[in-house]
Amino acid sequence: MLIKRAPDIKSSEITDFQFYLDRRSFLIGMAAMALAPARSATAAVSAGEPLKAKRKEKFAVQDAPTTLKSITTYNNFYEFGVNKDDPSRLAHTLKPRPWTIQVDGHVARPKKYDVEELMRLFPLEERVYRLRCVEGWSMVIPWIGYPLASLIKRAQPTSKAKFVEFTTLLDPAQFPGQRKGLLNFSSLEWPYVEGLRLDEALHPLTLLTFGLYGQVLPNQNGAPVRVVVPWKYGFKSAKSIVRIRFVSEQPKTAWEKATPSEYGFYSNVNPAVDHPRWTQATERRIGEFRRRQTLMFNGYADQVASLYTGMDLKKHY
């Protein structure tokens, strides 16, 4: 074995320190997993733990996924603050277990679910979706969940159900952005509320989501359960959901109440309809410097355009 002394070692032969740390963390994690006892089917899981799911190629775009580091450190989640790094810095305050989700409203089978029970109701799928932010940046994320339609059909909506309303947890102790002060975004009314038309919620693309990149949802990405609606701007995909309610009237959503001239109920990705303060015609994929053309319905027009036949998409923005 050849042993080199320090003066003889070229700088190009030295392992990058960050690579060393990443590899060391990976090996430690693998060792811990190997030594850990087998998890029972009903055992609780924590944010960031491995989460297995079968890849659904039918719902996987061909774009290269955004790095896990970017996905987990560059976020809009105003419950933690208004800056993009606030969620990753402050999300440790969220306690995603235990957690319950109330499914009620105009349904024949209302029920309060524990998140572990909800996660295991149907087989989990991995779907690689584009995510387009209204501010002009985008990502490609391997999400893990199952069609929201599966849960909706289980709840059995009545004829009065026309819309689905999603409510995020209200708890200033866990969400510093909900407190009065510098982190609070005063234009938003808490709790955060979002909504979809029932046919949008039933669409096969709409995903009830529990994980990303092969792991349980990190806190900053909406743990323990969120919805992902890939043809709409990112803020429509409600995070940290505690209630799914079926209603007869169109819900008044958080951003719609805060700034109705800028954020409409539908908020479909539409490069022909600019935000009042910036263009929506182009976007910047996180990790890239060049801007790219924004696709109608975020590239999902073939699947969802029929939902809006006959609608004026400039009026119903």
Q: What CATH number corresponds to the domain at position 180?
A: 3.90.420.10
Q: Report the alpha-carbon distance of residue 171 to residue 253 in Å, rounded.
A: 18
Check if the beta carbon of residue 106 is closer than 8 Å to that of residue 246.
yes
Mean pLDDT of 35-46: 47
On whether residue 36 sits in a domain, the answer given is: no
On whether residue 6 sits in a domain, the answer given is: no
Which residues, other chains included, contact 112 with Cβ-Cβ below 8 Å and sequence gap of 6+?
100, 101, 102, 103
Q: Report the alpha-carbon distance of residue 150 to residue 211 in Å, rounded.
A: 17
- pLDDT above 70 coverage of the chain, percent: 84
Lowest mean pLDDT among 177-191, 248-262, 290-304: 177-191
On whether residue 35 sits in a domain, the answer given is: no
pLDDT band at 44 (very low <50, low <70, confident <90, very high): low
On whether residue 81 sits in a domain, the answer given is: yes
The total of structural domains in the chain comes to: 1
What would you measure as the largest C-alpha separation in the chain, in angstroms? 79
Check if the beta carbon of residue 235 is closer than 8 Å to that of residue 218.
no
163 sits in which H/E element: strand 163-168
Which residues, other chains included, contact 237 with Cβ-Cβ below 8 Å and sequence gap of 6+?
131, 194, 222, 226, 227, 228, 229
Mean pLDDT of 119-130: 98
pLDDT band at 182 (very low <50, low <70, confident <90, very high): low
Q: Report the alpha-carbon distance of residue 232 to residue 297 in Å, rounded.
A: 7
Which residues, other chains included, contact 88 with Cβ-Cβ below 8 Å and sequence gap of 6+?
72, 73, 75, 220
Check if the beta carbon of residue 281 is closer than 8 Å to that of residue 294.
yes
On whether residue 240 sits in a domain, the answer given is: yes
Write out pLDDT tens, residues 6-39: 344 343 333 333 333 344 333 333 333 333 333 4
3-class secondary structure, 26: helix
On whether residue 299 sits in a domain, the answer given is: yes
Identify the domain containing residue 132 by its residue range. Answer: 52-308
Q: Report the alpha-carbon distance of residue 183 to residue 77 in Å, rounded.
A: 11
Average pLDDT, the chain: 87
Q: What pLDDT does 48 receive? A: 76
Site of tokens 């908020």: 267
Mean pLDDT of 105-121: 98
On whether residue 43 sits in a domain, the answer given is: no
Q: Report the alpha-carbon distance of residue 279 to residue 18 in Å, rounded.
A: 38
Q: What pLDDT does 163 receive? A: 98
Q: What pLDDT does 181 receive? A: 66
Whether pLDDT at 102 is above 60:
yes
On whether residue 171 sits in a domain, the answer given is: yes
Q: What pLDDT does 172 receive? A: 94
Whether pLDDT at 158 is above 60:
yes
pLDDT band at 185 (very low <50, low <70, confident <90, very high): low
Which residues, other chains included, contact 76 with Cβ-Cβ below 8 Å and sequence gap of 6+?
84, 87, 133, 135, 234, 235
The residue ranges of DSSP E strands in 170-221, in sequence order, are: 193-197, 207-212, 215-216
Helices (H) and strands (E) in the chain, counts: 8, 13
